[in-house]
Amino acid sequence: MNLFRAAACLATLLLAGECYAQAYPSRGVRIVVPYPAGGPTDVMARLVAQKLSEALGQQFYVENHGGAAGTIGTLAVANAPADGYTLLFVAPDFIVQPAVRAKAPFDPIRNFAPVTVLAASPEMIAVTPTVPAKNLQELIAFLRANPGKHSYASPGAGSSAHLEGEWLYKITYGLDVVHVPFQGAAPAITSTIAGHTSIVHLALPALTTPVKDGKLRAISVTGHKRAPQHPDVQTLAEAGLTELRTDFIVGVVAPAATPKDIVDLLSRQIAGTLRLPDIQDRLAKLSFTPVGSTPDEFAARIKADVETWTKVVRQANIKIE
């Protein structure tokens, strides 16, 4: 009898969980983008919000909460109820910022429930045309022959592009190259086109147009596969550098303790959205590749990347207050 009652209770609990998932969402769902409107993270959030609204019968709406490299919007979601009605679209800052700050305001592992990696794009290294290098090997040789004379631009101190540069020039090759941080991609590109900085490290979508227009020359892309938009540009892996993964990802997370059935439902729905031809076409135009990872896969990615960036920060002695 006790076994029967236990089994009945378990069945009731499982049924209740299933009904809970089926009842979700029963009202609108807020999607927080911790950056200003118009960037790739914001564009993807709005694309997915529309498809989720159509598929699940409730409005998924986007709110932009920019500032402090994504920290303001991220904290708003970390402190929101863990009921599935507040989601956060994240970029590499989500993982990198806690690694570079001594007093990180949030923990990407403990404070959030990963849902999925929506899409990814490699980062790119490009140079002003007056730099004679055509590939990474030539760039390294050029910088080694001219110590302390050249600099690289990034979209900000503590960005993934900044850490990538420190790992590449200082940790890997021991070169004297100065980092120049800017407030975003546009001024970093402008500086490099003008020759004020010799090199720029940015996510590929930001550099596709100036490279195709001949205003900058692509040197390398991160990752293990060449970018379809730039098939002639070598990867870091082809140059023999396989230790660091620095692709620009857009992911979705929820507050920690959000019910697993809701997280799984959202993950499946978003993965289905990514298979739609119009979404794939839009992502391709943004220079992104759809991913649609599971929550466990995204959790493993976050953990691995936090460990990697923390190691880079320590070895390069990067300090950001």
Q: pLDDT (tens digit, 9 = 90+) per residue, 19-36?
A: 445 589 999 999 999 988
Examine the domain organization and report whether 264 and 212 are in the same domain: no
Report yes or no on 26 lying in a domain.
Answer: yes
Tokens of 102: 């001594």
Q: For the segment 201-214, what is each residue's pLDDT rounded down to a tens digit? A: 999 999 999 999 99
> Looking at the predicted structure, is the pLDDT value of residue 223 above 90?
no
Examine the domain organization and report whether 163 and 106 are in the same domain: no
Tokens of 52: 């989720």
Question: What is the total count of domains within the chain?
Answer: 2
Report yes or no on 226 lying in a domain.
Answer: no
Report yes or no on 229 lying in a domain.
Answer: no
pTM for this prediction: 0.85
Examine the domain organization and report whether 8 and 114 are in the same domain: yes
- Band of residue 1 on the pLDDT scale cut at 50, 70, 90: very low
Stretch among 12-16, 82-86, 169-173, 174-178 having the lowest mean pLDDT: 12-16
Mean pLDDT for the stretch of residues 208-230: 91
% of the chain with per-residue pLDDT over 90: 70
Residue 127 structural domain: 123-221
For position 130, which CATH number holds? 3.40.190.10
Report yes or no on 237 lying in a domain.
Answer: no
For position 290, which CATH number holds? 3.40.190.150
Examine the domain organization and report whether 30 and 112 are in the same domain: yes
